[in-house]
Amino acid sequence: MTTRFSPEDLFTNPKSYTDADAWHAEAARLRREDPVCRIDAKGFDPFWAVTRHADLLEVERQPALFPNTLDSVLLRKDQREQSRAGGAMLKTLISMDGDEHRAYRNVTVEWFKPASLRKVLQPRVTQLARKYVDRMAELGGECDFALDVARYYPLQVIMSILGVPESDELRMLDLTQKLFGAEDPDFGVGEDRAARMAVVMDFIQYFAKMTAERRANPGTDLASTIANSSIDGKPLGDLETIGYYVIVATAGHDTTSSTLAGGLEALARDPEQLRALQRDPALLDNAVEEMIRWVTPVRHFLRHAQEDYTLRGTHIAKGDVLMMSYLSANRDEEVFADPFRFDVTRADAANQLSFGTGVHFCLGANLARMELRTFFEQLLPRLESLELGGPTEYTAATFVGAPKRVPIRYRLR
Ligand code: HEM
């Protein structure tokens, strides 16, 4: 029997995201019948789920009317109380608005531009991509691509830009997995409040030490840029500095790993797409956009209405919370023809909303694209065959996730 989710389960139950077909079937129904849908689920404050592409754009492009605030991710009421304490400690770009947000974002915006990334990072990213394709070769033609490859490569890129030494990388992997995979029993620390706080404290201690080091011995890495920059003539506050490292370390890791795993899974399922890409490497940039649309690893962010507003005919009251469902918007039939088909030649793949839009548009979007493109540039010319070696599994999380197990069989030159 096909699973069917209620709209409440769809957006608030982490497990619903593990059944991609059933999730998308219900989201498609909502786009047709109730595109700005009131969700009143047990244990959660009510919110509006915004499921259409055009409506997401309309909301995100009005940041003064719909700011992020500290509560930018969906939590149960009890979790939210608990996170307020932690959230206040870890102030990040995501939870800032207005002038403060603009000033903090400006600290690194140049560093993340394509020309600067190409210059500072491309050689290292190419080296790491080659290392992980070599690792696939060492694994002898069979591996779990998500666990054995996709988890590590973006992590090493992030650690390189932050200047975290290789000896500390596994500890960082463990911490980010615990924070971002917190809803998934395989990864997170789940409901254990003390364990969650311990993870946050561990992050704070680690990055506080790094800030002190970078202030004493400035270099050219991103960590030095952050530690030594000033706003209105004053150095960044300690909590904001640490929050910056944490957002880069966490936002830059699972998101890109998930897209890599989901992108490769899509190619393994559809050999014709793989062959098209191998025949014409010029398609790669577009294929990367399509992978990012297809996977949409960040499933939502929240916005908070500051005034009464009418969205697609629905009355939103001042103070209401809106969930931007990127995962639904990226399958919107009004924008994408045949949205449930993975198509590396899709003409408008770049209209995907996986990075959001407006003032909070993903700061690392160009880096993510560079990592994905470079990996496939290294892999595709060496790949003689690729197929799935067993069932794939998805992360149970309402916030960030994608395939967490992608068993594959392959031959590499
Ligand atoms: C495929 C990979 C990625 C996806 C899908 C993704 C997605 C997102 C989304 C949806 C947002 C919020 C946008 C909004 O509210 O409109 C965001 C913000 C952000 N992302 Fe990414 N991200 C990815 C990779 C990265 C990487 C590699 C980094 C850094 C190394 C990064 C750093 C950030 C930061 C710092 C923000 C906060 C920006 C702000 O609030 O001004 N992300 N990302």
More confident residue, 70 or 345: 345
Q: How far is the CA of 279 from the centre of ligand 1 (A)?
A: 32
User: Residues 99-104: what's their mean pLDDT?
Assistant: 94
Name which residue sits closest to atom 21 of ligand 1, judged by CA: 362
Q: What percent of the chain has pLDDT over 70?
A: 93
- Closest-CA residue, ligand 1 atom 34, reads 363
Q: What is the pLDDT of residues 256-314, one digit of tens each?
A: 999 999 999 999 999 999 999 999 999 999 999 999 999 999 999 999 999 999 999 99
Tell which wins on pLDDT, 91 or 48. Answer: 48
Report how far ligand 1's centroid is from the alpha carbon of 245 (Å). 13
CB contact at 8 A, 68 and 97? yes
Mapping DSSP onto H, E and C, the string for 67-123 reads CCCCCCCCCCHHHHHHHHHHHHHCCCHHHCCHHHHHHHHHHHHCCCCHHHHHHHHHH
Count Cα atoms within 13 angstroms, Cβ side, for 68: 21
Q: Which of 75-84, 287-296, 332-341, 402-411 has the lowest mean pLDDT?
A: 75-84
Confidence class for position 3, pLDDT limits 50, 70, 90? confident
How far apart (Å, rounded) are the C-alpha atoms in residues 317 and 307? 7
Whole-number Å distance between alpha carbons of 38 and 206? 41
The CB of 210 under 6 Å from ligand 1? The reply is: no
Ligand 1 centroid distance, CA of 251 (Å):
6
What's the pLDDT at 51? 98
| End-to-end CA, the chain | 43
pLDDT band per the 50, 70, 90 thresholds, residue 401: confident
pTM, two decimals, is 0.94
102 Cβ below 6 A of ligand 1: no
Chain CA centroid to CA 109, Å: 18
Q: Would you say the CB of residue 357 lies under 6 angstroms from ligand 1?
A: yes
Mean pLDDT of 64-80: 91
User: What does the block give as tokens for 139?
Assistant: 């694994």
Task: Find out whether 74 and 399 touch, Cβ atoms under 8 Å.
Answer: yes
Digit-coded pLDDT (tens) for 228-269: 999 989 888 877 888 888 888 888 988 999 999 999 999 999
Position 170 scores a pLDDT of 82
pLDDT at 192 over 90: no
pLDDT in tens, 14-32: 999 999 999 999 999 999 9
Q: What is the pLDDT of residue 23?
A: 97
